[in-house]
Amino acid sequence: MGRTTNGAGKRTKGNARNRRIAAIDLFCGVGGLTKGLEKSGIDVKLGVDIDPACEYPYEANNGAAFLLKSVADLDADDLVSNVRGAGYTLLAGCAPCQPFSSYQQKLGPSDERWHLLGHFGRLAKELDPDFITMENVPNLARQSVFKKFVAQLEALDFHVTYEVVNCAEFGVPQQRQRLVLLASKLGPIALLRTKAKPKTVRQAIGDLPPIDAGEAYDSDPLHQASELSELNMRRIRASVPGGTWRDWKKELVADCHKRETGKTYPSVYGRMKWDEPAPTMTTQYFGFGNGRFGHPEQDRAISLREGAILQSFPKSYKFVRSGEPIYCKTIGRLIGNAVPVKLAEAIGKSIVAHVESHSGPQKRAA
């Protein structure tokens, strides 16, 4: 169940307007959120990120420009020209989730990324958009920095709603829990649902050409799988879809899992199931030992391309220039950190439908 809060004021920018929504994507990464918003009909004009590795994939696959700059150093003057003349404006983004992830409990306010959400709120005040959307890990909702962010938006007269969703509900072939926030100055807004069945691993990647561990497919260098040691090759051959290392013979079990502290971590060194959504794609999904990232039947971890598809990127999405070297750790990080495209598309469609429902004269009441 989501939570909705109401802004106290009234939007007074006029009545009937053109329905074009222009957007800016903060913390844009390689463009998962931008691509989904574009597919929904929203005109994303600019993506902002501090990571130079994001620039090529962002601009090569999307119609927006890329600005290499920290959000902490942005002000409205950097942004306003990109959305001038639009009927409606959207400020979107996914602040780095690592400080709030359950996998990184030691991180906190001492991590500089912790405070980036505050800069998001500052920019919302300076730019004065019609809509805000933000996606992040569920744990963020329990943090004071998020509660402060919501309060900032309410003080700016936004109607705010947020909830934790499973991305599989929105056509992402992956079990991924994410916090989604929507805010509007038009009135209450909600994330639209469909009744589509969850997409499975087989439906997503079952038609990709088979490859071996350590091999790349000639026609798509991103369809490459990490090498496996002799021991890990024996382990994956002993693994069944949906199983765990507990199914192995004793000599295959890692020493850390033989200790009491390691026995509670079964979701590593596992194969995916063909006919279910994939597990959550992390930034290290290309490693067999890093989670249940073994291919359902081939003796290897899933490829970089397969991970991108399971994040619902189009199969043709470009991550590196032709002929440039592919670094698994870099590409894996960029893909694992991305907003799933299908979730972003659902967010965009929800905003577009919201505008449609408030179009026409005298329909901008709080």
> What positions carry a catalytic annotation?
97
Give the integer Cα–Cα distance in Å for 277 and 203: 9
Q: How does DSSP assign 5-31, residue by residue?
A: E--SS---S-SS----EEEEEET-TTS
Q: Which helix (H) or strand (E) holds 216?
A: strand 216-217
Helices (H), the chain: 32-40, 55-61, 80-83, 116-127, 144-155, 201-205, 230-237, 255-258, 304-310, 328-336, 341-357
Taking the C-alpha atoms of residue 176 and residue 193, their distance in angstroms, rounded to an integer, is 16
Q: Distance between CA 297 and CA 242 in Å, rounded?
A: 11
CA distance 297 to 201: 12
Nearest to 284 by CA among 328, 236, 318: 328
Angle ∠(291,296,299) on CA atoms, nearest 5: 85
Q: Dihedral angle at the C-alpha atoms of 225, 215, 56, 322, nearest 10 degrees?
A: -170
Q: What is the chain's percent helix, strand, coil content, to nearest 5?
A: 35, 15, 50
Three-class secondary structure of residue 363 per DSSP: coil
Is residue 365 packed enough to be buried (19+ CB in 10 Å), middle (13-18) or exposed (0-12)? exposed
Quick check: 174 and 138 in contact, CB under 8 A? no
